[in-house]
Amino acid sequence: MGRFTVLRIVVLIAAIGCGSIVLSSNVLCQEKDESLVADVRAESDKLTEAFNAGKAADVAAAFLAEGELIDEEGTVYQGPKEIESLLTSFFEKFPGSQMANEIESVRLVGPVAIQEGTRVFTAKDGTESRIRYISVLSKTAAGWKIASVRDFADETPPTSGEMLQSLDWIVGKWLNEGSDARVEIEYRWSEDKNFILGEFSVKRGEQFVMKSSQRIGWDPLFGQPRSWIFDSDGGYGEALWSQVDDTWIVRSSAVLPDGMTGSAIVSISPGENGRFVMTGTNRHVGGALEDDYEITVVKQPPTAGK
C-alpha cells in the first residue's frame, strides 16, 4: 500500500470521525432545544391553569420581579404586585372567566425564549375575546419566568364586501330609456359577497345592440373600489371609484375592439325616488374629445312575488 494511499485513508477516517462528532453535537443541541421549548410550554400551561382557577397571585408569580405586562392599549403594568392587582380586579369583574392559550411558536434566542400566540378569553355568559401576544421569557433557578409580555388586539380586517357597503345602494334593476336606445342595468352581489356584479343590455326596439358585464371589487393597494367591464363586441375597460360627499367619481379607461383607446370621468349621483344621474365628462376616444352626456337612471320595482 503506497504512502499516499495510506494518507488518503487516514484523512477519510478523520473526516468521518469529525462528521460523526458534529452530527452528534447537532443532535444533542437539538434535543436540548426541544427540551427547553417543552419546559417553556409547560410553564405556559401552568399559568393558564392558575388563571382559570382565578389565582391572581399564582399568575403574577410567573413574572420576574422587574417583569412587565403591556396591554393592547399600551398601558404598562410593572412587577408582580401591579400585575396581581390588575388580575384581582379582572377576576372580580368577570368571575368564572376561562382562558385558552394557543401557542403559535416558541423560539430560543440566546438566553431568552420568545413565545407568540393568541389567548382566547371566554366569559361566564359565553362571550369570547381574542388577544394576540408576544412574550419574552428568561430562564431562572425557579424555571422560566416572564420578562415581558405585550398584548395586541386580534382585529380581523374587514372583508372586501364590507369595504364595498357604501355602494350597496346600487344593487337592483335599473332602466334608462332614451330617444335612440333602452339601457337595462342590473347589479347584484356575488355569491361570496366580495364583489358587486353588473349586467348592461342596450336595445334599439327589440334588437340587442350591446351587452356588457361589470365586476366591482375593493382594491386594497389603492384603498378604493375598482371595476372591470367587458363588452360583447370585444372591448374592455377598468376604472377606479372614489366618493366625494354623495357622488361617486369613476375614472375609467377602455380599449375598443379596433385597438383604439378611450378614457372618461363619470360622475354617479344617487337621487330621490329610486334614481341616479350619470354624467360623463373629459371623454377621449382615439385622441379625439367627445361630447359630455348626462342620463337619468330609474330603479325598477321588484317583480311581483319576489
304 pLDDT band, cuts 50/70/90, is low
Q: Which three cell numbers stand for residue 272?
A: 330621490
pLDDT surpasses 50 at 301? yes
25 pLDDT band, cuts 50/70/90, is very low
Share of the chain above pLDDT 70, in %: 87
Coil, strand or helix at 168: helix
pLDDT at 240: 97
In tens, the pLDDT along 259-286 reads: 999 999 999 998 888 899 999 999 999 9
For 273: left if phi > 0, alpha if psi spans -120 to 50, otherwise beta; the answer is left
Quote the distance between the C-alpha of residue 283 and its chain's center. Answer: 37
- Domains of the chain plus CATH, in order, are 25-153 (3.10.450.50), 160-299 (2.40.128.20)
Taking alpha carbons only, the member of 194, 196, 177, 268 closest to residue 186 is: 196
Q: Which residues are 297's β-sheet partners?
A: 276
Contact 262, 284 (CB under 8 A): yes
Rg (CA), the chain: 33
In tens, the pLDDT along 172-202 reads: 999 998 778 899 999 999 999 999 999 999 9
Measured from the Cβ of residue 21, the count of other Cβ atoms closer than 10 Å reads 10
pLDDT at 32: 56
Measured from the Cβ of residue 185, the count of other Cβ atoms closer than 10 Å reads 21
Share of the chain above pLDDT 90, in %: 67
28 pLDDT band, cuts 50/70/90, is very low
Helices and strands in the chain, H and E counts: 4, 17
Gap between the Cα atoms of 235 and 256, Å rounded: 5
Instruction: Give the mean model confidence (pLDDT) for residues 13-34.
Output: 43
Reported as type and span, the H/E element at residue 143 is strand 143-153
Gap between the Cα atoms of 139 and 127, Å rounded: 35
Coil, strand or helix at 122: strand
Gap between the Cα atoms of 124 and 94, Å rounded: 8
Whole-prediction pTM value? 0.55
User: If you ran DSSP here, which 8-state letter would residue 274 be given?
Assistant: S
Taking alpha carbons only, the member of 190, 250, 194 closest to residue 220 is: 194
